[in-house]
Amino acid sequence: MPEEKQAKSIDKATLEMLDKAAEEGIATVFDRAEKMKPCPIGADGSCCKNCAMGPCRVPLAKGKEETPEEKKARVGVCGATAETISARNFARMIAAGSASHSDHGRRVIEAFKLMAEGKTKDFEIKDEQKLLKLALDMGVEIGNRSNNEIALDIANKCENEFGKQEGELLFIKNAPIKRQEIWRNLGVVPRGIDREIVELMHRTHMGVDQDYRNLMLQGTRAALADGWGGSMIATEIQDCMFGTPSPVLSEINLGVLKEDMVNLVIHGHEPALAEMLAVVSQEPEMVKYAESKGAKGINLAGMCCTANEILMRHGVPIAGNFLQQELAIVTGALDAMVVDVQCIMQGIKEVASCFHTKIITTDNRAKMTGAEYMAFDEHNPKESARAIVRAAIDNYTKRGKNVRIPNIKQPLIAGFSHETISYLLGGLFRASYRPLNDNIINGRIRGLAGVVGCNNARTTHDSGHIAMIKELIKNDVLVLSTGCGAMAAAKAGLMVPEAAKKYCGEGLAEICETVGIPPVLHMGACVDNSRILIAATAVVKDGGLGDDISDLPAAGAAPEWMSEKAIAIGQYFVASGVYTVFGTTWPTSGSKEFTNHLFKDMEEMYGGKWDFQPDPVQAAQLMIAHIDKKRKALGIDKARERVLYDMDMRRELEG
């Protein structure tokens, strides 16, 4: 029987643009994925190319039990076992993912320091309260000092976090006390972020660490240096400098592009340039310049996580998530795609060559052959942004007739920083997670789930996210989301309060309707998974749900993951005590023993563990089973009786 062809996407705008691409003979990531099947040996983590005696392939024969002799024979030229090879590959993914988030964090610190030193006038402290809180947390003197003096000390301390040779990362103290003890007992508390990543790269070099348990201790240290280090630094400092997000209404999908305006899409991950673009694209001189070229104005939209950053803080609309980057160009209406770092497919250049679209790289760490490079100068950010906007406007005049923008977009509410959630639940004057905890305890909310991560062209675009999230909210699990998963949810109409009535179980619907929140809360970009860690810690600290993150009725998932960053995030979630299930493919399937270490041993070590389930509904069921197991352990499994709100309870919730 011929294999049934998998649908490419569940998103209608994506399908419409794929049709247009096909009509015009333009190949996209979807076509390339069909043409090039993944190497099964590499996909299972059974290929080592860590030295020039290899590459060595040690595939596991499928469909039969391996004999001890066969297992013994599965070694590389140097004798490295399938377990070592699998663990090294996995650990290197953690190293690359942690490095990406952390290098993002470092750039943010550099801009923050320039601001504090008065070397750039375009950045400023937008959230003074957060600055002062950070100062207290980091032991920086406040006294009568100016914001910039305080900021400079914070910047220096943060910089030191990258190169710290000994001691513990400062933000480790943000975790529950019990969690810190678990890490200390296992010896996985990270020192400097750079040091942990360098050591992990060393230990995965040919002939170094050949005990997968020992190797994963370092893998965990590097992942924690990301989640409770590089990523957390990025989020906290970005909030200080660009503002802590609060609820904001916007729109999402390719339909946000406008036929009669200059369309400029900013794509990548770092917010500094995007922030400046958001400001300068509204400047009257810029708008006038656009009008002088025959456009009605400038339409700035985002793509991938840079999009999430400016959506969360300014409500800038989003054109799409990871797998839609080429399709935004296929509309023919995109005058410039401006990129910074991470998740930028080189394929956009080839697609752009079929249209007038300019691809502009802006970061010296991420250039692209054939694309125009316009450096983003942090000393003079507004001027850099203006030059880019002008280039997009100039290019508008070259737009051809071949324009088709799908008439598809969805409203969404974003901006749920952990601070905002506590204000919404507890009220402005007594911000607290107490009402959330109470509603988890009384069972209206069964538990919490972080559904995050990418799209992957090996699976139907957005389908895993949506099927999983719908199953979770139907079962009264409140979903926290970031990255491209959050965008999938928004496109499917799950990020508006009205979604509660339509898709949620009775208890969750009641809470969402009372507070006026959607059942899926957009918490930001991939680096903002650190917000989920802080929110989980706040829930623990508010009491009644155990004394560690691993006690919470909570789970995490990345049903359509593809990036190395997702593995780093997964590992810091697991090491923080979270049951974490991934979909699509599992990169250590070539070693049962190492996979068991991740799927079983880690639960004993950290209270959290990895799991793999490609069916998103079954994966959601696993998460719910885990949540129920935790409810039982807390003695609140009986509490899930239906209680209708009386007026007093509503008033209490509304704060």
Question: Is residue 541 within 8 Å of 564, Cβ to Cβ?
Answer: no
Region from 49-57, 278-286, 359-367, 636-644 binding ligand SF4, contact rule CB under 6 A = 49-57
Q: Least separation, in Å, of the C-beta of 454 and ligand MSK? A: 3
Looking at residues 450 to 479 of the shown chain, list those that interact with ligand MSK (rule: CB under 6 A).
453-454
Q: Least separation, in Å, of the C-beta of 51 and ligand SF4? A: 3
DSSP at 81: B
Q: Tokens for 379?
A: 């000393």
Among the listed residues 172, 157, 173, 229, the one whose alpha carbon sits nearest the alpha carbon of residue 196 = 229
Residue among 15, 22, 78, 354 that touches ligand SF4 (CB under 6 A): 78
Q: How far apart are CA 369 and CA 364, in angstroms?
A: 13
Among the listed residues 220, 229, 197, the one whose alpha carbon sits nearest the alpha carbon of residue 602 = 220
Q: How far apart are CA 441 and CA 97, in angstroms?
A: 36
Helices (H) and strands (E) in the chain, counts: 29, 16
Backbone angles phi, psi at 611, to 5 degrees: -150, 165
639 three-state secondary structure: helix
Q: How far apart are CA 107 and CA 272, in angstroms?
A: 9
Query: Which does residue 55 bind out of ligand MSK, ligand SF4, none, counting CB within 5 to 8 angstroms by kind?
Result: ligand SF4
Residue among 322, 355, 416, 503 that touches ligand MSK (CB under 6 A): 322
By CB under 6 A, tell whether 206 contacts ligand SF4: yes
DSSP code per residue over 460-521: -BTHHHHHHHHHHHHTTEEEEE-HHHHHHHHHTT-SSTTHHHHHS-HHHHHHHHHHT--SEE
Q: Least separation, in Å, of the C-beta of 499 and ligand MSK? A: 21
By CB under 6 A, tell whether 91 contacts ligand SF4: no
**Contacts with ligand MSK: how many residues (CB under 6 A)?**
13
By CB under 6 A, tell whether 230 contacts ligand MSK: no
Residue among 13, 21, 29, 56 that touches ligand SF4 (CB under 6 A): 56
Q: Least separation, in Å, of the C-beta of 235 and ligand MSK? A: 13
**Contacts with ligand SF4: how many residues (CB under 6 A)?**
14
User: Which residue, 203 or 565, has its beta carbon nearer to ligand MSK?
Assistant: 565
Q: How far apart are CA 527 and CA 572, in angstroms?
A: 12
Q: Kindly write out the interface string for residues 414-453 of this chain, putting x where it contacts ligand MSK by CB under 6 A and - elsewhere.
A: ---------------------------------------x
Residue among 9, 14, 50, 584 that touches ligand SF4 (CB under 6 A): 50
By CB under 6 A, tell whether 569 contacts ligand MSK: no
By CB under 6 A, tell whether 570 contacts ligand MSK: no
By CB under 6 A, tell whether 76 contacts ligand SF4: yes
C-alpha angle 314/315/316, rounded to 5°? 90
By CB under 6 A, tell whether 29 contacts ligand MSK: no
Q: Least separation, in Å, of the C-beta of 612 and ligand SF4? A: 24
How far is residue 255 from each of residues 328, 399, 404, 431, measured CA to CA in Å? 10, 18, 10, 37
For ligand MSK, the binding residues (CB under 6 A) are 269, 304-305, 322, 343, 453-454, 483-484, 525-526, 563, 565
